[in-house]
């Protein structure tokens, strides 16, 4: 028979007011195995913890039940105290008589009766507890960063600078992500390339960063400290090791195509890089645009290449990387605005989205930084910006605020005025959300210095008239319908998760919200962690974010990775499932219930049985409920323990 | 049966959602009858139907299995098994002749302290109407 001690806390008057704590202690003295029971005002305090420790020594207790607040409050405190007194911490159980008893009941007799029942159940449970040791997992101190935008690069650099190797995977042929497409950044108006390209260069030459561009993560298995990622390298049809980056191929390629990077405003080629400062500075052949792949004739690039790097037979290759942690920084895209028929996107060439306006502003863009409208190349004299195109629109678009649009639209209005001093910018908006350091001042500058005209209201229709566009909307401040003649209409379209995010979320077994953004472990207190240990998040993969927030979060994710890497071994919770092999019939009904693929097959002499990979197991117990033979046992929540609790509570 | 008879409810509560929701009911000082005896489990998917039957056999007047809302499971899919498993168990109990009010499966999130209190109130009122569980209780 174990020697159990019961400690009933008063919690000042929080418990003692409603529950007769002395009565609970007295009742527990007659429970089987209980050799000691006492009460105290605050067991969580230092003298309270000392009382527990002394009782463990003096009464030679080998089990402890503390009737007190919720285990989420002080279970860890009491387990540490017990451990300090030489007792295995997993031989301590909490009976929650505050949150789930004294605070929710007012009848003293009933509350005391319930408290006795809860203590009885815990005494029955703790009797069946075994001493457990947290087990150790070795940590592979190399990290996989998925996404080479500003967030991914920042995380990669922070971790590599701390001395740990990084595998950085980027889906596109070059680093930079969305930021590479931007012209200037708010609220400083410094050019995006000028602050981005030093970072891309630093990533490329860092000895501890292995850059896998034009690659995608296909599969991830394993667990914290020991993940295996399968990474596919898409065929570039150019041998990047041979290539010297002269870009003669791009120059000579006869096939002109609309470039996705330039938001369809050209000029792209079937072979080449997205922009001149691309890192790595290596071209890819876009198979769908290439004349050779379409007709079997051409091969101009192959003939012109001085180092014979073009290889039309290149195929996808995959490789496996072993890493200890993963940072997901897959960023965002903008929603295709053609679903908003009233704005005429896709129908009228002079209705563009704001990423296209960034390209028009960019000196590496299709117009070399001169703002010209797509239809006829004329410099627009009046430009209408429409904010919340698809954001804050639960009916047709996304219900959330895309967060960055108010600021970049103010920036667009300013940049436009700087380039076209006699031009006029009109901005239709719902609200201006300019929270952030020097953000509100920035918007005010657009209004006061650069004459941006803000109209509060929605746009109902955009239609062409005499070679211009008519924007019909309402100004809700004056209550008037307004019509603006515009040469160019720019839609601030909603930000949505990157196209690769759903597949990646599935491979990582990490949750997303209803819009496909990755879910953090806790929205306030654990904003860069996921619920899967060892997988972290940064940047717009979680929700739309501006550059400074993405960078801050990336450094936060890097700090979490470094904390993980600060030890050679990790301590893992021992409350995992184990198999009683002599009872296991090898039916594997448990297997489909496991969300972590932790159940593996093990060959005995005469049959196959289930075995649990303790590194993968998260201790949910789904397998234990599915097991028909009772062979699967979840430590800390065994059938015997839970049935003992049931029995005790039904007394 | 005395006039002051109070039913006894065994409540299995997943530690991430419902148990935390019940804690929230406490920190919000919501009052509900002292009829429910919670058992903390890691996930509602851990609750073996044998536990439910044992509770009824030992004289519980009602049993509640409660976890995260489908789609919100801490372990991604645990409560989906709960949902399927207990739609069968519920029919089985009714087949045995148990009144359907005696067994409930509820989705109560960590934010729904109010919902937890409300479920206990509803169940207590229903069970008071029904009276004690004589059907499955073991005679001692």
Chain A, window 405-434: residues with a beta carbon less than 8 angstroms from a chain B beta carbon = none
What per-residue confidence (pLDDT) applies to A186?
Answer: 96
Residues A338-346, mean pLDDT to the nearest whole number: 83
Q: With an 8 Å Cβ cutoff, is A509 touching chain B? A: yes
What is the average per-residue pLDDT within B16-41?
95
List, for residues A87-99, the tens digit of each pLDDT value. 999 999 999 999 9
A254 in the same domain as A201: yes
Q: What is the mean pLDDT of the segment spanning A568-595?
A: 93
B33 touches chain A (CB under 8 A): yes
Closest CA–CA distance from residue A649 to any residue of chain B (Å): 7
- To the nearest whole Å, the CA of B28 is away from the closest chain A CA by 8
Q: How far is A308 from chain B (nearest CA, A)?
A: 51
Predicted confidence at residue A128, as pLDDT, reads 96
Residue that is last in its domain, among A127, A158, A185:
A127
Q: Are A551 and A434 contacting, i.e. CB atoms less than 8 angstroms apart?
A: no
* CA separation for the pair B117, A100 (Å, rounded): 10
**Closest chain B residue by Cα to residue A94:** B40
Contact: B47, A625; criterion CB under 8 Å: yes
What is the count of residue pairs from A and B with beta carbons less than 8 Å apart? 130
Chain A closest CA to B11's CA: distance in Å? 10
Residues in contact with A278: Cβ distance below 8 Å, sequence separation at least 6, in sequence order? A173, A174, A175, A176, A180
> Distance from B114 to chain A by nearest Cα, in Å?
11
**If pLDDT is split at 50, 70 and 90, which confidence band does B140 have?**
low
Average pLDDT over residues A622-648: 95
For residue B71, what pLDDT is reported?
82
Q: At what angle do helices B113-130 and B18-27 cross, to 10 degrees?
A: 100
Residues of A whose CB is below 8 A from B60? 646, 649-650
Give the integer Cα–Cα distance in Å for B118 and A449. 58
Is A647 a domain residue? Answer: no
Nearest 5°: the CA angle B56, B62, B68 is 110
CATH annotation of B9-130: 3.40.50
| pLDDT tens, position by position, A42-57 | 999 999 999 999 999 9
- B1 falls in which pLDDT band (50, 70, 90)? very low
Instruction: Determine whether the interchain pair A643/B38 forms a contact, defined as Cβ–Cβ distance below 8 Å.
Output: no
pLDDT at A195 over 50: yes
pLDDT of residue A533 exceeding 90, the answer is no
Backbone region of residue A293 per phi and psi (left: phi > 0; alpha: psi in -120 to 50; beta: other values): alpha
Q: Which residues contact B4 (CB under 8 A, 6 or more apart)?
A: none
Residues A234 and A238: their CA atoms lie apart, in Å, by 11
Residue among A511, A487, A490 at smallest CA distance from A501: A511
Dmax over CA atoms of chain B, in Å, equals: 46
Alpha helices, DSSP H, located in A148-261: 150-161, 192-205, 248-252
Handedness of CA A545, A549, A554, A556 (dihedral sign): negative
Residue B2 has pLDDT above 70, yes or no: no
- Interface touch A620/B43, C-beta < 8 Å: yes
Whether A255 has its CB under 8 Å from any CB of chain B: the answer is: no
For residue A570, tell me if it sits in a domain: no
SS3 call for B17? coil
Distance CA A72, CA A120 (A): 20
From the CA of B31, how many Å to the nearest CA of chain A?
Answer: 4
User: A367 with A461, same domain?
Assistant: yes
> Which residue carries 């290539």 as its tokens?
A243
A264: CATH = 3.50.50.60
Question: Does any CB of chain A come closer than 8 Å to the CB of residue B34?
Answer: yes
Binary contact (B43, A111; C-beta < 8 A): no
Of A101, A509, A650, the CB nearest to B59: A650
For residue A118, the chain B residues in CB contact (below 8 A) are 37
Q: Do B34 and A637 touch (CB under 8 A)?
A: no
Gap between the Cα atoms of A203 and A180, Å rounded: 15
**Whole-number percent of chain A with pLDDT over 70:** 100
Q: Does A442 lie in the same domain as A367?
A: yes
DSSP A477: T
Asked if B68 reaches chain A (Cβ–Cβ under 8 Å), the answer is no
Angle of helix A46-58 relative to helix A71-84, nearest 10 degrees, comes to 50
Q: Give A550-561 pLDDT, tens digit per residue.
A: 999 999 999 999
Residues A173 and A312 occupy one common structural domain? yes
- A638 part of contact set with chain B, CB < 8 Å: no
Backbone torsions φ then ψ of A544, nearest 5 degrees: -55, 135
**Burial category of B107 from C-beta neighbours within 10 Å (exposed 0-12, middle 13-18, buried 19 and up):** buried
Are A99 and B27 an interchain contact pair (Cβ–Cβ within 8 Å)?
yes
With CA atoms as reference, the chain B residue closest to A576 would be: B42
Mutation test of the interface with chain B: which of A620, A636, A638, A645, choosing the one with the most B Cβ atoms within 10 A?
A: A620
Give pLDDT tens digits for A97-106: 999 999 999 9
pLDDT tens track for A256-285: 988 889 988 877 899 999 998 999 999 999
Domain ranges for chain B: 9-130
Quick one: tokens of A409? 């639209």
Asked if A114 lies within 8 A of B81 by C-beta distance, the reply is no
* Contact with chain A for residue B58, Cβ under 8 A: yes
Question: What CA–CA distance (Å, rounded) separates A7 from A115?
Answer: 12
In terms of domains, do A98 and A221 share one? no
Q: Which residues of A touch B23 (CB under 8 A)?
A: 70, 72, 96, 99-100
- Rounded CA separation A293/A313 (Å): 11
Could you tell me if A153 and A121 lie in one domain? no
Nearest to B20 among A72, A639, A643 (CB): A72
A406 with A537, same domain?
Answer: no
**Alpha-carbon gap, residue A101 to A114, rounded angstroms:** 7
Beta strands A226-233 and A317-323, pairing class: antiparallel
Cβ neighbours, 10 Å, residue A81: 25
User: Both A57 and A24 in a single domain?
Assistant: yes
pTM of the model: 0.79
Whether A641 is in a domain gets the answer: no
- Phi, psi (5° rounding) for residue A230? -95, 120
Mean pLDDT of chain A: 94
Domain that holds residue A466: 334-495
Q: Is A646 on the interface with B (CB under 8 A)?
A: yes
Helix (H, G, I), strand (E, B) or coil at A602: strand
Cβ <8 Å between B25 and A99: yes
B27 touches A: beta carbon within 8 Å: yes
Which chain A residues touch B34 with a CB distance below 8 Å? 101, 104-105, 107, 110-111, 113-114
The verdict on A118 and A167 lying in the same domain is no
CATH of the domain at A627: 3.30.70.20
Query: In the prediction, which pLDDT does A386 show?
Result: 96
For residues A196 and A150, the answer to whether their CB atoms sit within 8 Å is yes
Query: How many CB atoms lie under 10 A from the CB of residue B90?
Result: 18
Tokens of A360: 């028009």
Residue A390, pLDDT > 50, answer yes
Tokens of A519: 């879910």
Partners of B6 on chain A (C-beta within 8 Å) are 110
Smallest Cβ distance to A634: which of B10, B31, B46? B46
At A171, list the tokens: 């889906």
A618/B75 CB distance under 8 A: yes
Which residues in chain B have Cβ-Cβ distances shorter than 8 Å to A113? Answer: 34
Look at residue A509 in the predicted model and tell me its pLDDT.
81
In A447-568, DSSP assigns E strands to 453-456, 459-465, 468-475, 480-486, 488-493, 495-497, 535-537
HEC string of A543-581 equals CCCCHHHHHHHHHHHHHHHHHHHCCCEEEECCCCEEECC
DSSP state for residue B66 in the 8-state scheme: E
| Least Cα separation, residue B43 to chain A (angstroms) | 6
- The reply to whether A651 falls in a domain is no
Report the alpha-carbon distance of residue A453 to residue A417 in Å, rounded.
12
Q: How sure is the predictor about A630, in pLDDT bands with cuts at 50, 70 and 90? A: very high
Tokens read off for A366: 């299709």
- How far apart, in whole angstroms, are the C-alpha atoms of residue A601 and residue A598? 10
Q: Are residues A195 and A292 in the same domain?
A: yes
User: Quick check: B55 contacting A, CB < 8 Å?
Assistant: yes
Handedness of CA A128, A134, A136, A141 (dihedral sign): positive
Average pLDDT over residues B104-114: 94
Indicate the pairing of strand A92-96 with strand A63-68.
parallel
Task: Using CA coordinates, name the residue in chain A closest to B55.
Answer: A646
pLDDT band at B3 (very low <50, low <70, confident <90, very high): low
Q: Is the dihedral of CA A54, A58, A60, A61 positive or negative?
A: negative
For the domain that residue A54 is a member of, what is the CATH number?
3.40.50
Is A121 at the interface with chain B, CB within 8 A?
A: yes
pLDDT by residue (tens digit) across B84-101?
A: 999 999 999 999 999 999
Q: A244 touching B, CB under 8 A?
A: no
Paired with A188 in beta bridges are: none
- From the list B30, B38, B42, the residue facing A620 with the nearest CB is B42
B53 touching chain A per CB within 8 A: no
Nearest-by-CA chain B residue for A637: B41
Which residues 72-111 of B are in CB contact (within 8 Å) with A? 74-78, 81, 85
Query: Which residues are CB-contacts of A463 (< 8 A; sequence separation ≥ 6)?
Result: A344, A469, A470, A472
What was the pLDDT predicted at A337?
A: 67
Contact residues on chain A for B8, CB-CB shorter than 8 A: 649-650
A122 plus A243 within the same structural domain: no
Mean pLDDT check: name the lowest of A320-334, A336-350, A619-633, B43-57: A336-350
Could you give the CA distance from residue A170 to residue A505 in angstroms, rounded to a whole number?
Answer: 16
Are the C-beta atoms of residues A355 and A490 closer than 8 Å to each other? no
Q: Is A622 on the interface with B (CB under 8 A)?
A: yes
Residue A45 shares a structural domain with residue A177: no
Percent of chain A clearing pLDDT 90 (strictly above): 88
Structural domains in chain A (count): 4
Q: What is the mean pLDDT of residues A571-577?
A: 90
Higher pLDDT, A136 or A207: A207
Of A424, A413, A436, the closest CA to residue A354 belongs to: A413
B119 touches chain A (CB under 8 A): no
């Amino acid at each position: 028979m174990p020697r159990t001690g019961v400690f009933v806390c008063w919690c000042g008057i929080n418990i003692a007011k409603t529950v007769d704590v002395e009565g609970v202690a007295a009742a527990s003295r007659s429970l089987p195995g209980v050799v000691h029971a006492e009460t105290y005002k605050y067991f969580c305090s230092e003298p309270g913890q000392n009382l527990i420790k002394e009782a463990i020594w003096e009464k030679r207790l080998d089990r402890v039940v503390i009737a007190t607040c919720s285990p989420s409050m002080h279970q860890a405190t009491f387990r540490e105290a017990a451990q300090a007194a030489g007792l295995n911490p997993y031989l301590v159980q909490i009976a929650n008589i505050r949150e789930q008893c004294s605070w929710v009941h007012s009848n003293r007799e009933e509350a005391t009766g319930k408290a006795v029942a809860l203590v009885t159940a815990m005494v029955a449970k703790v009797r069946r507890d075994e001493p457990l040791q947290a087990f150790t997992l070795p940590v592979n101190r190399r990290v996989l960063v998925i996404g080479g935008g500003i967030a991914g690069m920042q995380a990669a650099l922070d971790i590599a600078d701390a001395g740990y190797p990084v595998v950085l995977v980027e889906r596109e042929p070059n680093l930079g992500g969305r930021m590479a497409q931007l012209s200037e950044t708010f609220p400083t108006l410094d050019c995006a390339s000028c602050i981005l390209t030093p970072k891309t260069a630093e990533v490329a030459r860092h000895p501890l960063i292995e850059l896998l561009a034009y690659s995608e993560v296909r599969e991830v298995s394993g667990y914290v400290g020991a993940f295996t990622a399968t990474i596919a390298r898409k065929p570039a049809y150019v041998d990047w090791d041979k290539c010297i980056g002269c870009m003669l191929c791009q120059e000579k390629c006869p096939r002109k195509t609309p470039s996705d990077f330039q938001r369809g405003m050209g000029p792209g080629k079937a072979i080449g890089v997205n922009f001149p400062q691309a890192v790595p500075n290596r071209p890819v052949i876009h198979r769908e645009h290439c004349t050779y792949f379409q007709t079997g004739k051409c091969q101009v690039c192959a003939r012109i290449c001085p180092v014979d790097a073009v290889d039309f037979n290149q195929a996808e290759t995959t490789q496996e990387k072993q890493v200890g942690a993963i940072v997901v920084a897959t960023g965002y895209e903008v929603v295709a605005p053609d679903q908003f028929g009233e704005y005429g996107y896709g129908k009228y060439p002079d209705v563009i989205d704001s990423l296209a306006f960034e390209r028009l502003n960019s000196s590496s863009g299709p117009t070399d930084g001169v703002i010209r409208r797509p239809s006829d190349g004329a410099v627009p004299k009046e430009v209408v910006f429409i904010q919340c195109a698809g954001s804050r629109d639960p009916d047709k678009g996304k219900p959330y605020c895309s967060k960055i649009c108010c600021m970049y639209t103010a920036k667009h209005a300013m940049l436009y005025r700087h380039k076209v001093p006699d031009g006029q910018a009109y901005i239709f908006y719902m609200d201006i959300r300019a929270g952030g350091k020097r953000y509100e001042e920035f918007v005010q500058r657009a209004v006061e210095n650069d004459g941006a005209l803000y109209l509060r209201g929605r746009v109902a229709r955009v239609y062409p008239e005499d070679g211009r566009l008519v924007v019909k909307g309402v100004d809700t401040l004056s209550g008037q319908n307004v019509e603006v003649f515009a040469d160019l209409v720019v839609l601030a379209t909603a930000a949505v998760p990157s196209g690769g995010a759903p597949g990646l979320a599935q491979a990582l077994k990490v949750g997303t919200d209803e819009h496909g953004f990755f879910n953090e472990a806790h929205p306030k207190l654990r904003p860069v962690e996921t619920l899967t240990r060892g997988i972290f998040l940064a940047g717009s993969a979680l929700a739309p974010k501006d550059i400074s927030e993405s960078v801050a979060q990336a450094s936060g994710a890097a700090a979490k990775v470094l904390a993980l890497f600060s030890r050679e071994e990790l301590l893992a919770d021992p409350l995992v499932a184990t198999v009683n092999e002599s009872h296991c019939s090898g039916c594997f009904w448990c297997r489909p219930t496991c969300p972590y693929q932790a159940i593996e097959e093990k060959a005995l002499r005469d049959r196959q049985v289930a075995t649990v990979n303790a590194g993968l197991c998260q201790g949910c117990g789904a397998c234990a409920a599915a097991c028909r033979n009772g062979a699967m046992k979840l430590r800390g929540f065994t059938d015997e323990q839970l049935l003992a609790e049931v029995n005790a509570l039904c007394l | 049966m005395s006039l002051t008879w109070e039913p006894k409810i065994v409540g299995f509560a997943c530690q991430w959602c419902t148990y935390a929701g019940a804690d929230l009911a406490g920190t919000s000082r919501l009052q509900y009858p002292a009829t429910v005896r919670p058992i903390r489990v890691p996930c509602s998917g851990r609750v073996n139907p044998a536990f439910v039957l044992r509770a009824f056999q030992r004289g519980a007047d009602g049993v509640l299995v409660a976890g995260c809302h489908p789609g919100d499971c801490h372990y991604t899919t645990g409560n989906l098994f709960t949902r399927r498993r207990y739609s069968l168990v519920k029919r089985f109990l009714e087949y045995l002749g148990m009144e359907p009010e005696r067994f409930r499966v509820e989705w109560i999130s960590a934010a729904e302290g109010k919902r937890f209190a409300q479920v206990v109130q509803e169940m207590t009122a229903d069970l008071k109407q029904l009276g004690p569980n004589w059907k499955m209780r073991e005679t001692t």
